[in-house]
Amino acid sequence: MCGICGIVGREPVDREVLARMTRNLRHRGPDDEGFYVAERKEGVAAGLGFRRLSIIDIESGNQPISNEDGSVQLVFNGEIYNFRELRRDLETRGHRFATNADTEVLVHLYEDLGPRCVERLNGMFAFALWDEPERRLVLARDRFGKKPLYYAEVDGSLLFGSELKALREHPLCPRALDFESLCKYLALEYVPTPHSILEGVKKLPGGHLLLWRDGESSIEQYWDLSFGSSNGVQSDGDYVEEFRVRFREAVRRRLISDVPLGAFLSGGIDSSSVVAMMAAELPAGLVKTFSIGFGERSFDESGHARRVAAHFGTDHREDVFTARDLLDLLPAVVDVLDEPFADASVLPTYLLSRFTRESVTVALGGDGSDELLAGYPTFPADRVARLYRMPGPVHRRVLVPLAGKLPTSTANFSLDFKVKRFLRAAASSADERHPTWLGSFAPEELDALLTSAPSDPLEEQRRAFASAPTRNELERLVYLYAKTYLQDDILVKVDRASMACSLEVRAPFLDVDLVEFLGRVPPRLKLRRFETKHLLKEAMKDVLPPGIATRSKKGFGIPVAQWLRGELREAVTDELSPDRLRSQGIFEKAEVQRVLSEHLTGRRDHRKQLWTLFMFQLWHRRWLAT
């Protein structure tokens, strides 16, 4: 796992600027660095920068890496899990390899297939490839966007990097706040692809290529999530058995490593299933597992994690996350994020990554299961919402105010929280309902919050839902979650938190072969009536300890509501003070003070709205105010 950056354009590459861009990614690759500069020729120059976290072929796998004659140069962030099969095929066609690294496969594959070589890769990646004879740059991002890639086109030049902080080192990088992206962040808790928080900087979508030549660029999609029936008639039992086989193979692929390897273990079905498959593949006692606990009981899952670890005989280690840890971590996490990001679970994910990195360099996790197998509580809630036929005036004037009178609890997924969340979007269309359930400020709330008229914050969600290659309602929701929430929240959280600690995290549920199989699985095996992840539960119920497969989803949350009234009260009050808000001129002071006061006095639960504002203020102070 690594960090990449670079620039192509008409002007000669400033090597010192390229070096600064690269150094800003050192946390992603602390082991080594490398550079390639193509001098100005035919009016075009190019520079590539690379930071390395050594995982495979530690001795000779540094980058940039080239083909035999050096005409193709590559910097690559990620892992190619099928590189051995690809290498054997390339060797039979006469290609010669200088390393044992997975990265070298790609330059030779490019020689044969050009940019569409990316279609052959099973892995997680973002890469930049400079084709010297063609004077062409190829940027690519893996199918789900697990690995990040930002870019900006300015005056005929193109800057790119794994994180915004690398681009910011170049004098051409735009630095102004993008108000449209701010509106989207306030609603969603993240900035959705292809936008970034800086005006003029974009994110390459997962499953896409960017081709640049002579100052012009084009973007092509090379893969999309698909749905359809399996060839032939299969029973439910056949699907369950095939899933079990494909899932184990996906885990096996991700055990390739020349450095110590382990797994995150929360005690939920996703991470427990990954650990079960690891235990089946590795000798007894070699699986290392890591978990985080909380003092607040409704948020703590450490007991379940210990039970799973004991069942499979893992070398298990755990730590406890406290409010003091949160305060200590906030500056480091804001520094890592680059963009404002309000999924509070990034904090325990960072702590877990730091704790895990003390023992291993690679960890497997359960990301992707909830999106692809309809695992969130919002999926069964959607079925209830589609039956919800309350007249609009009754909904707005009677039920919503009644729900507001429920006693406010700070517990994880408390009854009042679920009822209020459900009602705030139950009457909306599906493409608006889900992002509103998951997010912070509802679109109509932005009018009162912002000093300028807000833009449409749910544009990407509507587009994704409308473009789903299926008419089945559940599959359209799976597509929506995969293209938005998974790519821009879950994967961003894990990538930034883990790479800040120089830890690589692999996601077996996002294996290409497994994902394409899941696209053929009937919707009834994903959501069976109101039971989420039915297929996974059936496949793992006799493998996991009793009760683990059927546990209610808890999520990796933290006690934000309680801490905002306690340990964080002074910090959030300071960041949202009238003087600070007045100097920014972005938010309506009276509205922010109302939300803050209602939460601090216990009259309302505004945990998500306040955390979203708080994280923006911390980001603004760190990245824009200086």
User: CB 192: neighbour CB atoms within 10 A?
Assistant: 27
173 carries an active-site annotation: no
CA 334 to chain centre: 16
Tell me how far apart the alpha carbons of residues 214 and 131 are, in angstroms, rounded to a whole number.
13
- Which token pair is 111? 């020689």
- Helices 378-387, 473-481: crossing angle, 10 deg rounding: 140
226: left (phi over 0), alpha (psi -120 to 50) or beta: beta
Question: Would you say 308 and 572 are in contact if contact means Cβ atoms under 8 Å apart?
Answer: no
DSSP assignments along 96-108, one per residue: --S---SHHHHHH
Question: Which residue, 32, 44, 22, 36, is CA-closest to 67?
Answer: 36
Pairwise CA distance, residues 380 & 346, whole Å: 26
Q: Read off the amino acid at residue 499.
A: M
Catalytic residue, chosen from 2, 117, 173, 183, is 2
Amino acid identity of residue 99, one-letter, is T
Distances (CA, A) of 27 to 32, 497, 503: 11, 11, 9
Asked if residue 205 lies in contact with residue 150, where contact means CB atoms within 8 angstroms, the answer is: no
**What b/e string do you get for 401-437 counting C-beta neighbours within 10 Å, with b at 16 or more?**
eeeeeeebebebbbebbeebbbbbbbbbebbbbbbbb
Instruction: Please say whether the beta carbons of 334 and 619 come within 8 A.
Output: yes
| Active site amino acids | 2
